[in-house]
Chain A
Amino acid sequence: MTQMAFYGIDTVRVVAEEGLLPGRLFAIEGTDGVGRSTQIQHLRTWLESSGYAVIDTGQRRSALAGRGIDEAKMGHTLGPLTMDLFYATDFVDRFENQILPALRAGFIVLTDRYIYSLMARAIVRGAEREWIKQVYGLALKPDAIFYLKIDLEPLVQRILRRGRFDYWESGMDMRLGDDLYESFVAYQTLLLQEFDHMTPEYGFQVIDALRPIPKVLADIQARMEPLLPAG
């Protein structure tokens, strides 16, 4: 059962609504290109074959704000504060309409990033730490947070194998470097520092993501299994 525990003010009134969340909430965190979605695919298959009902969710997938964010990112007028709150809207829409109903119905929820990436991105772009923490204070504490960690150098190589550097993943809006590569390095360095900062605070389980996919998967499975309803 997912505990009724929050980081701040439960303004959604989850506690008042219903007493029990028989499902499980697992957050998979990590920077861009670290292999989160691959792991989630494998975890989903594994959980379903064990008989669990699973849903997965991730950023910009809300019915309300997903498209709006995509459209806003195509232009050149999206400011950092506006971006922070647009993403928060997307998160809360999914929190209320996907995550909570699934937990109430006893599903295993796998979330590709949770509030931590959103907070890291906001802080790196200049948002006040206390402020963004208060905004996301409404979020439920997950049963576990798996942080797929990789150093900068191998991350760069992985991104290159995947394709070209992305404008936003490189933080080009922050003008940190002369070109995509320099900006990517500077931006991801800041993000990795922020994740390190958050690791003890939120109790991330650090997963060495440099290893081959099956090894990483087995590591997460071993940690997840005891937390499952039949565990």
Chain B
Amino acid sequence: MERYGEHHFPGRLFVVEGVDGSGKSTQIALLRQWLVSEGYSVFFSEWNSSPLVKRTTSRGKKRQLLTPTTFSLLHATDFADRTEHDIIPPLKAGAIVLADRYSYTAFARDVARGVHPQWVRQLYQFAVKPTVAFYFRVPLDESLKRILGSRLDLKYYEAGMDLNLSTDPKKSFKLFQKRIVTEYEKMIEEFGLTVMDARQAITEQQLQMREIVRPFLRGLHRERQNHAGRWTITSAGNGAEQLVTRKRNGL
């Protein structure tokens, strides 16, 4: 197997991380719009969304069959399916892949659940290393206010009820989130996460994100509409061309 950790694919991979209520999904949606309007090929992949694994996950959650270890493995299976289908092929093709949550989510949540930190890091060794991984840092009180203020129906695993921290879902959620934040903070240095101050205005954060992303876009395949409304391709280092050249040269 190729160890995707240190990849040299022609594409770019940008991921957002952070606790629920940190605003990361809003930010990556805005980034996506911008990149598309700039003419880039953009592929989006969301945590826990593999069609192959979906039914098993919902069965496990509904019947509360999951332990910390199987919870971890099932999410890794989901991630593997998306790596094989949604992440690696577009990256090889020279596209931009955006991921809402990545392996760091597993490292934070699973370890907060009691999974061994080293074991879960080994489990995700197949993950492609992101070009930039943004961590949306927000004070716990703020994210709790955003989440708990908007909805009351916390799900069993989401609230960390399986950990028996508290019989009250809200209290359990708070304690669980606190553990998760602790794990994220530890990862900033370990994985070189790019910290975003999620207390700032949405527009302000978005402008910063674009500034950070921009230098990495050089050389990517791009299509633009000209005055006549026709699409022109301005590309360098196209993934498909590279592949054909590599194969032709017998590499």
Contacts and interface: CB of A to CB of B under 8 A. Distances in A.
A13 B114 contact: yes
A82 B63 CA distance: 23
Interface in B101-154: 114-116, 118-120, 122-123, 125-126
Interface stretch (B32-40, B81-89, B172-180): B81-89
Contact of B122 (A93, A96, A135): A135
Shortest Cβ-Cβ A-B pairs, 7 listed? A68-B56, A79-B84, A11-B116, A85-B77, A134-B122, A89-B73, A81-B80
A79 B81 contact: yes
A134 B119 contact: yes
A131 B67 contact: no
29 contacts: A8-B119, A9-B119, A9-B122, A11-B69, A11-B119, A64-B59, A64-B70, A65-B56, A67-B55, A71-B55, A79-B85, A81-B1, A81-B80, A82-B52, A85-B73, A85-B76, A86-B56, A88-B73, A92-B69, A93-B70, A96-B67, A96-B70, A126-B1, A128-B125, A131-B1, A131-B122, A131-B125, A131-B126, A137-B119
Contacts of B123: 134-135
Interface in B59-74: 59-60, 63, 65-67, 69-70, 73-74
Contacts of B118: 9
A116 to B, nearest CB: 18
B15 to A, nearest CB: 18
Interface in B12-64: 50, 52-53, 55-56, 59-60, 63
A88 B53 CA distance: 13
Interface residues of A, number: 36
A50 interface: no
Given A9-B116, A77-B85, A134-B119, 12 more contacts: A11-B69, A68-B55, A68-B59, A79-B81, A82-B53, A82-B77, A82-B84, A84-B80, A85-B80, A89-B73, A92-B69, A135-B122
Nearest to A134: B122
Nearest to A89: B73
Interface in A1-60: 8-13
B5 to A, nearest CB: 10
A70 to B, nearest CB: 11
Interface string A112-144: 000000000000001110010011011000000
A12 B70 CA distance: 10
Nearest to B81: A82
B51 to A, nearest CB: 8
Contact of B65 (A63, A72, A81, A84): A63
A72 B55 CA distance: 10
Kindly name the residue among B65, B70, B74 whose own CB sees the greatest number of chain A CB atoms within 10 A: B70
Interface of A: 8-13, 63-65, 67-68, 71-72, 75, 77-82, 84-86, 88-89, 92-93, 96, 126-128, 131, 134-135, 137-138
A65 to B, nearest CB: 5
A72 B52 contact: yes
Contacts of A11: 69, 115-116, 119-120
Could you tell me the dominant secondary structure of chain B's interface residues?
helix
Given A13-B114, A77-B85, A79-B84, A64 B66 contact: yes
Given A96-B69, A126-B1, A131-B122, A79 B55 contact: no
B3 interface: yes
A131 B69 CA distance: 17
Contacts of A82: 50, 52-53, 77, 80-81, 84
A124 to B, nearest CB: 11
A136 to B, nearest CB: 11
Nearest to A9: B119
A77 B76 CA distance: 17
A138 B70 contact: no
Nearest to A10: B116
Contacts of B126: 81, 131
A12 B63 CA distance: 20
B88 to A, nearest CB: 10
Contacts of A135: 122-123
B65 A64 contact: yes
Contacts of B122: 9, 131, 134-135, 137
A80 B4 CA distance: 14
B76 A93 contact: no
Nearest to B71: A89
